Amino acid sequence: MDDRPERIGLRYPAQVGLCGDAKLTLQELKPLLERRPDRSFLEQAQAEMNDWRELQAHRALPRYPIAQRTGMSTTENTRASPAGLHPPARL
Give residue-wise pLDDT tens across range 61-85: 887 666 555 665 555 555 555 555 5
CB neighbour list of residue 25: distance below 8 Å, 6 or more residues apart: 1, 18
Residues 44 and 62 in one domain: yes
Three-class SS of residue 19? strand
Give residue 27's pLDDT.
96
- Stronger pLDDT, 56 or 64, i.e. the higher one: 56
Give residue 34's pLDDT.
92
13 lies in a domain?
yes
Residues 27 and 12 in one domain: yes
21 lies in a domain?
yes
For the chain, how many helices (H) and strands (E)?
4, 0
> How many domains does the structure of the chain reveal?
2
CA 29, CA 19: separation in Å to the nearest integer? 13
pTM: 0.43
CA 89, CA 55: separation in Å to the nearest integer? 13
Residue 22 belongs to what domain range? 1-33
88 lies in a domain?
no
